[in-house]
Amino acid sequence: MDASSQASGRSLEPVVDIESAVPRRDSGRTLTVTAVYHLSEEGRKASLLDGGDGRAVQDVMVAVPTNRFHLVSVDADGAARLKLQPRYFLDEDQNVRRSDGPPVYDVPPSPEDLLRDAARNHQLERAYNVEQAEKKSKRRDEQFELHEKLAEQFLTDPTMRALEHPKPTPRQCYLQRGRRQILFDARIGHGLARQVPPEAYRRFTTDLRERRERNLARRAEQLALHQEKRRTIADWVERRGTPDQKARHAAGVLPLEEALEGMADEAFAVFGDRPRYVRDGVERLQTHLRQYPKYADVVVTRSELSVVSANADHATEAQWQLQQELQALLTDASTTLRVHRLIWQRESATPVLTQFGVLVTRRVGPFTLRREYLAEDTEPPRTHGRL
């Protein structure tokens, strides 16, 4: 039996060929056309038993009355074929589906079977085209509603922007909705959607102009700050620089770090020779660990050192007094008690070295200068594993 007939014969009404019901003068005339179909393995066996060639692809001639010419297609070369392909059928949900392949039969069909199947195919094709047209119309309506809703949201919200890539134009732009990029075209759009591209382009160009103005203003500020820094360094070199520093500054090769260090010496000179917090963690931690017999011969490398620094959340009396003393000596500076924990990463249970310092920050012209002074270390020994 025809496999396509099995799928479509469950709920199909009898095929009514309207054209054949209309009497015509030439109703007795016929046209011989080609019918192409496939045979399944069972069909090929049946074909051989009936004296056929048993081939999978069958190409036979069928006489079609002129009043059933709607079942025939004729190509540009004048070849007439019975319209069996593409094939239309009903799925399990009774929806019309299309298959580009030819029909497959388990039994070689007769010319009447082929004509009947072509008529059924024609009927289902019309239903399929109507269904597809309805779906297309529904999608078009949904797309219109989506465009209108998104367009209204865009036009009423001045903070919304179209995508910058591709760049908006007075005619086209894209808006982001979830993961979708929705195109708005002023030429083919309808309703509010036509107003979106010009407004998106206006906002885009306004943003570009404002961004350019901000960048120019920021650039001017940076240039002015750079000039002020150069003048400040030149003034310090003139007042406090050594002859060598003056010569190198005149040649443009005086390192900035050297100049800032000299300015910091002057800015924090009131502190005298108080001990500073030096970032020599490798040597300091190694010395600390060698106090323990287990680590008497330990060697700490830079890659194995980890320093965790933070603002201290408690202070001893001595640490507090140091911070207040430094603050009193420089009232225009700010002071912060800092804690630094030096950790050896090779072993998880090694003693941790904790150090405290008072960080002093002072503004000198365009520069923010910092110095940290060593404070008394009173935190009890810890191990890395208990941090």
Cβ neighbours of residue 237 under 8 Å, at least 6 residues apart?
Answer: 245, 246, 249, 254, 259
User: Are 243 and 283 within one domain?
Assistant: no
Q: Does residue 70 lie within any of the structural domains?
A: yes
Question: For the segment 113-134, what is each residue's pLDDT rounded down to a tens digit?
Answer: 999 999 999 999 999 999 889 8
User: Are 106 and 13 within one domain?
Assistant: yes
Full domain range(s) for residue 348: 268-386
User: Are 309 and 199 within one domain?
Assistant: no
Give the pLDDT confidence score for residue 385 in this predicted structure: 57
pTM of model > 0.75? no
Domain boundary among 204, 223, 254: 254
User: Are 282 and 231 within one domain?
Assistant: no
Side-chain-side CA neighbours of residue 72 (13 Å): 19
Range 111-115 contact pairs with CB under 8 angstroms and sequence separation of 24 or more: 111/35, 111/60, 111/62, 111/63, 113/2, 114/35, 114/37, 114/60, 114/62, 114/82, 114/84, 115/62, 115/64, 115/68, 115/71, 115/82
User: Are 88 and 114 within one domain?
Assistant: yes
Q: Does residue 64 lie within any of the structural domains?
A: yes
AA identity, residue 112: E
CA angle 18, 19, 20 (to 5 degrees): 95
Q: Does residue 338 lie within any of the structural domains?
A: yes
Number of domains in the chain: 3
Q: Is the pLDDT of residue 378 over 50?
A: yes
Domain boundary among 72, 100, 134: 134
Q: Does residue 150 lie within any of the structural domains?
A: no
User: Are 20 and 74 within one domain?
Assistant: yes
Q: Is the pLDDT of residue 17 over 90?
A: no
Q: Does residue 248 lie within any of the structural domains?
A: yes
User: Are 35 and 85 within one domain?
Assistant: yes
User: Are 24 and 114 within one domain?
Assistant: yes
Looking at mean pLDDT, say which of 48-52, 67-71, 152-156 comes out highest: 152-156
Which residue stretches of 50-110 are H helix? none
Domain boundary among 230, 254, 278: 254
Q: Does residue 375 lie within any of the structural domains?
A: yes
Q: Does residue 139 lie within any of the structural domains?
A: no
Question: For the segment 61-82, what is each residue's pLDDT rounded down to a tens digit?
Answer: 999 998 899 999 999 999 999 9
Question: For the segment 320-358, what is each residue's pLDDT rounded down to a tens digit?
Answer: 999 999 999 999 999 999 999 999 999 888 899 999 999
Question: For the segment 166-212, what is each residue's pLDDT rounded down to a tens digit?
Answer: 999 999 999 999 899 999 999 988 889 999 999 999 999 999 999 99
Q: Where does the pLDDT of residue 369 fall: very low under 50, low under 70, confident under 90, or very high at 90 and above? A: very high
Alpha carbon distance 183, 172 (integer Å): 7
Structure-token pair, residue 143? 């797309």
User: Are 221 and 276 within one domain?
Assistant: no
Q: Does residue 290 lie within any of the structural domains?
A: yes
User: Are 230 and 295 within one domain?
Assistant: no
User: Are 128 and 173 within one domain?
Assistant: no
CB atoms within 10 A of CB 366: 15
Alpha carbon distance 255, 21 (integer Å): 104
Question: For the segment 288-312, what is each residue's pLDDT rounded down to a tens digit?
Answer: 999 999 999 999 999 999 999 999 9
Measured CA distances, 161 to 150, 153, 175, 219 (Å): 12, 11, 7, 26
User: Are 382 and 272 within one domain?
Assistant: yes
